[in-house]
Amino acid sequence: MPATQSVMTTRRGQFRDIYRKLKRKGFLEHTPVIFCEGDSWFSTPLSMNLLDWLVFPTPEDEARGVPLLGAGGLFFRAEESGDTAKNIFTTGNIRDLRDWYDGFEFDLVLLSAGGNDFVGDFLKRLFAGKGPMSVAQAFRLVSDSGRFEQVVAGYRRFITAFRKVRPQVPILGHTYDYSVLMGQPANLTLANIGAVAILKKDVGPWIGPHIQTALPRREDQCAFARLLIDGFEARVLRTLKNDPALGGAFDYVDLRGTLAAMDQWFDEMHPTGASFHTLSARFGAAIHERLPAAKRRPPPG
């Protein structure tokens, strides 16, 4: 296995089989085992997403010997595009995921959830029949809806359940970055993403059309989206990180302010593949710091 090769598994049975083989051969002592759950930032088929860049080395990185998550990594991948915190963090789904988590020695848990809870039908219902208003007033509607508290409660259920199984294993999330393509759907063609363009049903936009009556100006729509992302960081991620009841189990990587150019975005909510690669460098560094010492690799000389 090449020095930087990582193992991607999408089916749970595959994960089990590979885990057992690595254990028999004594490879688990130096192989990170990562549990992943989340939304399209971990799973979008539109490009190499945030998680894909951690699983697969680029040919250039491979040639230079750049380490990705230690000496290879085994990933349990449960993420799905379009998932919300509301449906990821149900009692039944958490129970199912916890049973898998309990069956293997994981080193780290990665979460990517919450972005979809604040767009789409949520905004459509919230702003239905609303006339022009200020950005602050628009954000107050979101704040007063209770959605931030609902997402926090879901995260807390998940973190609490997983912490009971292995309190010493870090659980790491991330912020989203500021969207700059308000109202623009994904441009899916056979040329740019292949056959998945035929199968992809929801191409957005998920924000602009639902708030354009209340916020007609594009600049105000972008400002509103920034407040959503800042609110998610402050009222969800930071709240969980500082919650003494969670015992420091949860932390997150702040990715805001990384992608400011329009050509760094594929659509309203998804960066391009190259931009996800940029974000993955920051996310990967934080992951590497939290791995057991025996599963880290020194930087290339």
Q: Which residue has the higher pLDDT, 16 or 69?
A: 16
- In a domain? residue 202: no
Given a cut of 70, is residue 198 above it in pLDDT?
no
Beta bridge pairs of residue 37: 111
Which of 55-69, 159-173, 277-291 comes out lowest in average pLDDT?
55-69
What is the tens place of the pLDDT at every residue in 206-220? 899 999 999 999 999
Peptide bond into 205 cis (omega under 30): yes
Given a cut of 90, is residue 11 above it in pLDDT?
no
What's the pTM value of the predicted model, to 2 decimals? 0.89
- In a domain? residue 242: yes
110: nearest Cα among 69, 77, 83: 77
- In a domain? residue 44: yes
User: At which residue do the structure tokens 């898998």 appear?
Assistant: 100
Task: State the pLDDT at residue 55.
Answer: 83
What is the tens place of the pLDDT at every residue in 116-126? 999 999 999 99
The one-letter amino acid code at 18 reads I
- In a domain? residue 209: no
- In a domain? residue 132: no
What is the tens place of the pLDDT at every residue in 254-295? 999 999 999 898 888 889 889 999 999 999 999 999 999 988
What is the tens place of the pLDDT at every residue in 51-61? 988 887 666 76
Given a cut of 90, is residue 7 above it in pLDDT?
no
What is the tens place of the pLDDT at every residue in 230-244? 999 999 999 999 999
Q: Which residue has the higher pLDDT, 61 or 226?
A: 226
* Domain extent for 251: 7-117+147-192+233-295
- In a domain? residue 166: yes
Number of domains observed in the structure of the chain: 1
Task: State the pLDDT at residue 186.
Answer: 57
Which residues touch 279 (CB under 8 Å, ≥6 apart)?
Answer: 50, 177, 255, 258, 259, 271
- Return the HEC string of 201-270: CCCCCCCHHHHCCCCCCHHHHHHHHHHHHHHHHHHHHHHHHCCHHHCCCEEEECCCCCCCCHHHECCCCC
- In a domain? residue 153: yes
Given a cut of 90, is residue 150 above it in pLDDT?
yes
Q: Directed axis angle between helix 91-102 and helix 147-165, to 10°? A: 30
What is the tens place of the pLDDT at every residue in 103-118? 999 999 999 999 999 9
Task: State the pLDDT at residue 10.
Answer: 55
Task: State the pLDDT at residue 45.
Answer: 77
What is the average pLDDT score of the chain?
87
- In a domain? residue 37: yes
The maximal CA–CA distance of the chain, rounded, in angstroms, is 65
Strand extents, DSSP E, the chain: 7-9, 33-38, 74-77, 108-112, 171-174, 250-253
Task: State the pLDDT at residue 61.
Answer: 64
Task: State the pLDDT at residue 187.
Answer: 58
What is the tens place of the pLDDT at every residue in 25-34? 888 888 899 9
User: CATH number of the domain that 245 lies in?
Assistant: 3.40.50.1110
Given a cut of 60, is residue 92 above it in pLDDT?
yes
Task: State the pLDDT at residue 267.
Answer: 86
Q: Which residue has the higher pLDDT, 18 or 56?
A: 18
Instruction: Please report, for residues 19, 29, 45, 138, the alpha-carbon distance to residue 81 in angstroms, rounded to integers and kept in the order given.
Output: 25, 32, 8, 27
Contact 150, 138 (CB under 8 A): no
Q: In whole angstroms, what is the distance from residue 227 CA to residue 6 CA?
A: 36
- Confidence label for 2 from pLDDT (cuts 50, 70 and 90): very low
